Structure 1
Amino acid sequence: MNKTLTALLLSALPALALAAGEHSGGHGHDMAGMQQGARASAVGKPGDPARVNRTVEVSTDDSMRFTPSQIAVKTGETVRLFVKNTGKLPHEMVIGTLSELKEHAEMMRKMPDMKHAEPNMVTLAAGQRGGIVWQFDKAGLVDFACLIPGHMEAGMVGQIKVE
């Protein structure tokens, strides 16, 4: 019985790996395929860490807020968003259009153990620090949110004004 069960589980692993998409526990939605296509024009693209113009510190906490929640950058600027989780819960920062963030948040509700490893995202355990290096190449508004289930809905959102 154990051998049969093990064989079944092992035979299912390739299908599960394909279903996982682009980041562990994830999906195939390439929200961060920013360098390759039309989505890059909406929110920018991954920046070169050697060419950072400035660093903006952002903190997250269990009040379900980003501080600051409004950030101003200049068109063409490469910014390091240095994010600190000062709370006791995990939090993340994901850059995208509002529609992309909402779509991704819905996927996160269906797969709450999803871990991100895309250039426009950072997931942080309690007390952890991390960052995103991003080049904002077009004027307009860029949204960001925490997509851990319930966090965006509780108001954990912000905007970057690219001038």
Structure 2
Amino acid sequence: MNHTIRTAALAGLFALWASAASASGTHAGGHDEGEAIGKPGVAAKAKRTISVDMTDAMRFTPSDITVSQGETIRFVVKNAGRVKHELVLGTQKELKEHYAAMMKNPEMEHADPNMVTLAAGQTGEVVWEFTKAGKVDFACLQPGHYDAGMKGAVNVTKAAK
């Protein structure tokens, strides 16, 4: 089989795998954020917007956020720095695994509903529904940033009955 056909066949298999993973609630990266941290939100259902700044001091402002279980939040994220930053929601385990992959492949590009990656000066957003009470972590997974302390938490308070 020549290289072009083999490449096309592999690309087709990957697309099928990614599609199946997406249909099962897991994206190709292997996260199952729908279970552990909530799910992608519908922008029209967001009752609150929270602005988050990312800086070259390797910090998020704010880094500690409180929301209510069942609440859909629109995060408006601004990269106020001069280097690329990102905000990724996940469990601590998922973030550490993803960070390890980013350290091995620093040019890896990805776009999932639980994250936004921004060049210097850019603004983007993440709309997320927090379905379970507890803590949802977030971090910048650009190489070196997580280790420098660029992380935070969303505290999800139990819904009133």
1:41 aligns with 2:42: no
Aligned length: 146
Shift of 1:71: 0.3
Select which of 109, 128, 145 maps to 1:151: 145
- The whole-number CA distance in structure 2 between the counterparts of 1:17 and 1:63 is 42
After TM superposition, list the pairs within 5 Å mapping 1:1-163 onto structure 2.
Answer: 8=3, 10=4, 13-14=7-8, 15=10, 28-31=28-31, 33-34=32-33, 40-163=34-157
- The whole-number CA distance in structure 2 between the counterparts of 1:122 and 1:157 is 14
- The whole-number CA distance in structure 2 between the counterparts of 1:136 and 1:110 is 31
Identity of aligned residues (%): 52
RMSD: 2.1
Local SS of the residue matching 2:120: coil
- The whole-number CA distance in structure 1 between the counterparts of 2:81 and 2:131 is 32
- The whole-number CA distance in structure 1 between the counterparts of 2:95 and 2:62 is 19
- The whole-number CA distance in structure 1 between the counterparts of 2:67 and 2:81 is 26
Local SS of the residue matching 1:41: helix
8 Å contact kept, 1:60–1:87:
yes
User: In the superposition, relative to structure 1, how do residues 137 and 113 fare at CA in structure 2: closer, same or farther (>3 Å)?
Assistant: same
Unpaired segments ≥5 residues, structure 1:
1-6, 35-39
Shift of 1:116: 1.9
Kindly provide the CA deviation profile for residues 57-107 of structure 1, in whole angstroms up to 9, marking residues without a partner as x: 000010000000000001100000110000000000000000000000011
With normalisation by structure 2, the TM-score equals 0.82
